[in-house]
Amino acid sequence: MTKVTPAPIRLFNTMSMQKELLEPAVPGCVGVYVCGPTVYSYIHIGNARTFTSFDVVVRYLRYRGYTVRYVRNFTDVDDKIIKAAHETGEAPVALASRYVEYFREDAKALHMVEPDVAPKVSEHLPEIVRIIQTLVDKGFAYESQGDVYFSVRADKDYAKLSKRNLDDLSVGERVQPGDQKREPLDFALWKAAKPGEPSWESPWGLGRPGWHIECSAMSEKYLGETFDIHGGALDLIFPHHENEIAQSESAHGKDLAKYWMHCGFLDLEGAKMSKSLGNVVRLRDALEKVDAEALRFFFLSTHYRHPLSFSDKALADAEARMEYFYETLRKVDERLAGKDFGAGPVHGEPHRFLGEFECAMDDDFNSAGALGALSGLFGMMNELTDKPPVKDKPLVGRTLLALRDDVRKVSGVLGLFEDDAGAWLLRRRERAVRERGIDVAEVERLLSERTAARAAKDFAAADRVRATLKEKGVEIMDTAGGTSWKVAPAQG
C-alpha cells in the first residue's frame, strides 16, 4: 500500500505571531488539545464559535491525510460550578454532569465531530497531584496552609505567550485577604478543602485542583509532554494558557505545544460578548431562532482569528444562504436521479473550485475563503441546471455529478450539507410558517387551484393564484420535480 504524504498547511502561531508550516513532531500525525467548556451552565455562542472553528481544523487535517488525535476536555471541578450548585441546591458533581450532557447535545446539533478523548477533571486527580508534586519538588511551587501555589517569579519565561512584562503585571496587584500566596501573581495549583465543596486526598491534605493545572495534566496524559497544536479562545491566552505553559514547561523542561491557535472574539451588535456586559447569548437560545447548520455557516463565514459580529440580520442572511445551497442541491439531485450519463468528458473545469477550497484552507484554515470557492461551485451547478451553456445532456450530467461529488468532499470538512436537501428545506419552511402565521391548508388549497388552472391552460387564473400567494408571503417554484413552495423572505 502506498503511503500518503499529507499536504503542507500553514497556520498562524500565536507564540511567534506569524504563519508557520505545520511540521508535526511525528510526521503525518498531529496531536490537538482544545480547552473545553466549564460545565456550570449552557455554553454561549462565543464558545460555540471556538469549538466549531477547531472542529473544522481537525476535519481538514484529516482530509489532508494527517492522523489526528483530538483532545477536548471538560472542566467539571471549578469555583463557578460550586457557586451554581449552591444556587440550585444540587451537588456540584450532579450539576456538572448535567451540563456535560447538554453540551454534547449542542455539539451534536452543530455537527461537531466527537473528540478522540474528552477527559474530565474529576477523573484525573492522580495525574494532577503528580504534576503539582513535581513542581513542588523542583522549587516552582510551594505549599501554604493546605493550598499550593505556583511561584511565577521562579519561571524566567513567564508570559512569553502573551508578551507581557512581569513587572507591569505586578503593578497594582495585591495579595488578597484569605490568600496564602507569597506574591500577588502566584496562582493556585491546589486549594484546601472548604465545607460543602468537593475534595480529594493529596499530600497537602483534602482539597481540589486550581483551574489551570487540569489542562497541563490531561494534555500530558493523552498527548505527551510536548504535542503539536494547542487551541482555545483568544481570552484564554492570559492567564490560562500562560499558566499552562509555566506549569508544564517548568515540570518537564520541554515546550508544551509547538503551535498555539486562538479564535477571535464574537461581537454582539458591535459589542464584544462579555458576561459583565450582560450581552451573552446562549447557544440554545440562538438555536430556537435559527437552524443549527445555518449558525455553523455563520461561524465559518469569517476567518477564525478575526472578530465576528453577531446580529439577528447576520443569522437571517446565513439561513437564507443555506436555503440557496439546499435548493440548488435539491435541483441537482432531481436532475441526476436514476440517470446514467456514462463515461466521458465534463464541461469546463468543475474541479477547480475544490482546488480553490483547498488553497484557502491550506492557508491557516481560511474558512471564509473556502466558502467563497464553494459559492463558485454552487454557481456553476445552478447554471448547468437552469441555463446549460451546452446542449449535450450527458456532458451536463457528468459535470453535475463531478460538482456534486466535490460538494460531498467539502461537506466532510465544513460539516455542512450533511442533511437531505428536501428534509432541510421542509424544516426551514415549517419554522418560517410558524413565525409568519401562514395557513398551510390555505396555501395547499390555492396551489391545487393553480395546478387545475394550468392543466386547463387557464394561465391567467394560474397567475392570479401566484399573485395571491405572493401577497400571503408564499413563493412558488416550478421545477422538473414538480411545484414546491417556500416562505418568501420578510420585507424590511
Three-state DSSP class for 77?
Answer: coil
Tell whether residue 347 is among the known ligand binding residues.
Answer: no
CA distance 101 to 80: 18
Q: Is 35 annotated as a binding residue?
A: yes
Indicate left, alpha or beta for 415 from its phi (over 0: left) and psi (-120 to 50: alpha).
Answer: left
For every residue of 103-162, DSSP letters joined together read HHHHHHHTTPPPPSB--BGGG-HHHHHHHHHHHHHTTSEEEETTEEEE-GGG-TTTTTTT
Q: What angle do CA 243, 245, 249 make, to 5 degrees?
A: 125
**Residue 249 grid coordinates:** 514547561
* Contact yes or no for 296/49 (Cβ under 8 A): no
Residue 418 known to bind ligand: no
* Angle formed by the axes of helices 421-436 and 312-336, nearest 10°: 140
C-alpha angle 381-385-386 in degrees, rounded to nearest 5: 115
| 284: helix, strand or coil | helix
Please identify which residue in the block is written with the cell numbers 461581537. Answer: 267
Helices 367-386, 352-362: axis angle to 10 degrees equals 170
> What are the grid coordinates assigned to 371, written together?
466558502
* Cα 439 to Cα 437: distance, rounded to the nearest angstrom: 7
Q: Please state, in angstroms and rounded to a whole number, the distance separating the CA atoms of residues 361 and 364.
A: 6
C-alpha to C-alpha distances, 36 to 50, 53, 412, 472, nearest whole angstrom:
10, 13, 23, 46
240 annotated as belonging to a binding site for a ligand: yes
Q: Is 244 annotated as a binding residue?
A: yes
Residues flagged as binding site: 35, 215, 240, 244, 275
Residues flagged as binding site for ATP: 275
Residues flagged as binding site for Zn(2+): 35, 215, 240, 244
